[in-house]
Structure 1
Amino acid sequence: MTGMGLGVGAVARRLGVAPSTLRTWERRYRIAPSRHTAGGHRRYDETDVARLELMQRLILGGVPPEEAARAARAAGPGELAAPPAPPAAAVPAGEAPAVRALVRAAAAMDAAAMRRLVRDALDRDGVAGAWPGLLAPALIEIGARQAAGGVPVEVEHLLSDCVLGALAAVAAAAGPPVTTRPVLLACAPEEQHSLPVQALGAGLAQEGLEVRVLGARVPYPALAGAIRRTGPAAVFVWSSTAETGDPRPLADLPGTRPALRLIVGGPGWADGALPAGTRRVRTYAGAVAAARAALGLD
């Protein structure tokens, strides 16, 4: 980045969105560059770009754009230091024909075409390939268009519903698990955006792991009860915003024998405040690897 910062076009290419999306985010959600040239052109510094990347990651996790923008504006240096989404998810949707096709089907609210495209990708590539290669980029693109006013919110909801249905079918079709101790997957209390947890659950089931997906808004006492009843090898907790990512109750979760591995994912967690021994993952592949390691499979 030059001393003058990046222009709108360069930042748009870096995030894989249209320049008009950045202007809309500035106008609607006050995610603005910190400087301008003498001629009035926008210039984004590293912190500005980090806030945009955080907002984009939150949208990918299912957070409404207004809420994602609010969290990005309030984020401290530790949260902004998190790396951007994995490269496969950051590729501009216009460069991937399969993503373009899914985005077109979503914009047309063609549920049959969406289901076919999602199902074909999952059949061909599994969750491990389809999530970063197709599903996540399409969700990012539709979220960005919805934030820019290019598509109505029901388009985003319909796409999410098609993806959730397909992931549920993958989990249901998975063969018998090769592990006995389960992996528990849950959203933090008040965290409503469970799509990343559902994707991880389906992917782990495809890997042959015993999985229990507890879903959205799981109170910590309920999670503690599930730990006591199932004796999991690992517990994964998802938080997409700082409002849902309070790390203090994590330290009070019960232990197991052998000891469980506590794993957290999502941009809502602040690294320095996590309990000792907690593993924070930032990508789908990292979450799968952490779960497998907890079971001694890698």
Structure 2
Amino acid sequence: MYSVKHAAAMTGIPPDTLRMWERRYGVVAPVRTEGGYRLYDDAAISRLSAMRALVEAGWPPRLAAEQVRSGTTAGPLASPPTGDEVPVAVDDPAGDVAVLVAMATDFDAHALETVLAEMFERDDFEHVVDTWLMPALISLGSAWHRGKVTVAGEHFVSAAVQRRLAAAYDAAPTNPDGPRVVVGLARGSRHELGVLAFAVALRRAGLAVLYVGSDLPAETWVVTATDQRPAAVVVGVPSSDDVPAVRDTVAALIAARPDLKVFVGGGHQSRVGGAALPLGHRLGEAAEEVARVLGVVGQAATA
């Protein structure tokens, strides 16, 4: 039996990551001493090593844990599964996608703000988000899952990105006479960078956007849709854990307002089903589609 410190040394997995994989994914179930300390046996060490190998091979941690728990990781590693959870490979010869990971370890606020300013000056907002920001955030999240970045480092970078997106939202041209769209996240969902970026794109596409942020219960969505009478709502589905709450929200909205168009976006949008209208995974194209469906033609911003 091995302590957390010993297991970390044997597997190359930081102790905090060991505990997180246990709590979040149930990949191991260490026994406890009378004092409450974790002890890992040889089987647990093997499962942790297999989990690490899969994650380093490009598997999302949740799917890697499912593979390990199924006992099918013996032999050569299979290729990562395809689907919504797997990041698209990015041609990144300049290392731009990895830059946020470096920022999360340096904690240099000035350097981080400079990088964000330079990247967003390279091209249109939508193109930068699609080709750089989202892949870079995926890289940052992967580094955190592997224990290469601390929680504080990930939060440090995410907070700076959120400030940048909020500034872009405030700076985007407004069209108060355009169709109103309410944008936000369902109950329990707090990963709002993607949905905030989409709110910016919708504003730039000529829509009157009401951004309501994260963690809204279904009943709050219904009240907002009833009182504000939007032409559409957009609910983000950034993680698999968000799917049940989004399904409840969509069902409640359609029951209250059958005429309402309910769009869903994010990595797990295809799993919502029902009356939800998936937006796809390209920010600019999705914003243009919402504008087209709501009758806004030729009003996209160029600023």
> Any conservation in 2 of the 1:21–1:144 contact (CA below 8 Å)?
no
Cα gap change, 1:43/1:164 in structure 2, threshold over 3 Å: closer, same or farther?
same
Distance 1:249 1:174, change over 3 A: closer
SS of equivalent to 1:145: helix
Structure 2 match to 1:294: 293
Equivalent residue runs for 1:140-289 within 5 Å: 140-177=138-175, 179-246=177-244, 247-253=247-253, 254-255=256-257, 259-269=259-269, 271=271, 273-275=273-275, 278-283=276-281, 284-289=283-288
**Counterpart in 2 of 1:69?**
none
Matched, 1:30 2:65: yes
Identity %: 25
Q: Which amino acid aligns with 1:109?
A: F
Q: In the alignment, is residue 21 of structure 1 matched against residue 56 of structure 2?
A: yes
8 Å contact 1:179–1:208 — kept in the other structure?
Answer: no
Q: Aligned to 2:212, what secondary structure does the other structure show?
A: strand
* Alpha carbons 2:120, 2:128 under 8 Å: kept: yes
SS in 2 for 1:262: strand
Change (3 A) 1:22 1:154: farther
Q: Distance in 2 between matches of 1:109 and 1:240?
A: 26
Amino acid at match of 1:227: A
Distance in 2 (CA, whole Å) between partners of 1:167 and 1:142 is 17
Number of residues of Structure 1 aligned to a counterpart in Structure 2: 238
Tell me what 1:107 maps to.
Answer: 105
Q: Which amino acid in 2 is paired with 1:115?
A: E
Answer yes or no: is the 8 Å Cα contact 2:236–2:266 preserved in 1.
yes
Secondary structure of the 2:188 match is coil
Letter of the 2:81 partner, please give it. V
Higher relative contact order (CA 8 A, sep 6+): 1
State the one-letter code of the partner of 1:143.
Answer: G
CA distance in 2, matches of 1:133, 1:269: 19
Q: Which amino acid aligns with 1:190?
A: G
Contact 1:183 1:291 in 2 (8 A): no
Q: 1:213, 1:239 → 2: CA distance?
A: 15
- Contact kept, 8 Å, 2:61 with 2:145, in 1: the verdict is no
Code of the residue aligned with 1:206 in structure 2: it is R
2:48 is equivalent to residue 43 of structure 1: no
Please say if residues 25 and 148 of structure 1, whose CA atoms lie closer than 8 Å, have aligned partners that are also in contact.
no
- For residues 54-93 of structure 1, the C-alpha deviation after alignment (integer angstroms, 9 at most, x for no partner) is 4445xxxxxxxxxxxxxxxxxxxxxxxxxxx5xxxx305x
**1:95-142 residue CA offsets vs partner (Å, 9 max, x unmatched):** 344334444333312222221221232234232011122211211111
C-alpha separation in 2, matches of 1:189 and 1:26: 23
Quote the Cα distance in structure 1 between the aligned partners of 2:81 and 2:63.
Answer: 17
- Structure 1 gap segments, 5+ residues each: 1-17, 58-84
The alpha-carbon distance between structure 1 residues 267 and 225, as it changes in their structure 2 partners (threshold 3 A), is same
Q: CA deviation at 1:281?
A: 1.9
What is the Cα-based RMSD across aligned positions, in Å? 3.2
Distance 1:231 1:49, change over 3 A: same
- Taking the aligned partners of 1:171 and 1:272, their CA distance within structure 2 comes to 27
Inter-partner Cα distance in structure 1 for 2:242 and 2:63: 24
Deviation at 1:249, TM superposition (A): 4.2
Contact 1:109–1:158 (Cα < 8 Å) also in 2: yes
1:148, CA displacement in angstroms?
A: 1.3
Q: Distance in 2 between matches of 1:181 and 1:244?
A: 27
Unaligned runs of 5+ in 2: 1-52, 298-303
Q: Which residue of structure 2 aligns with residue 91 of structure 1?
A: 90
Larger CA deviation: 185-194 vs 161-170: 185-194
1:240 and 1:267 in contact (8 A); partners too: yes
Give the Cα–Cα distance (whole angstroms) in 2 for the partners of residues 274 and 28 of structure 1.
25
Q: Cα deviation per residue 1:29-76 (whole Å; 9 max; x = unaligned)?
A: 625488568xx43234xxx513xx54445xxxxxxxxxxxxxxxxxxx
- In the alignment, the residues of structure 2 paired with residue 111 and residue 31 of structure 1 have an alpha-carbon distance, to the nearest angstrom, of 37
CA contact (8 A) 1:188 1:216 kept: yes
Deviation of 1:242 after TM superposition, in Å, equals 4.1
What SS does structure 2 have at the residue aligned with 1:211?
strand
CA shift, 1:157, in A, is: 1.1
- Report if aligned partners of 2:105, 2:153 keep a CA contact under 8 Å in 1: yes
Tell me the SS of whatever aligns to 2:120: helix
- Quote the Cα distance in structure 2 between the aligned partners of 1:294 and 1:23: 37
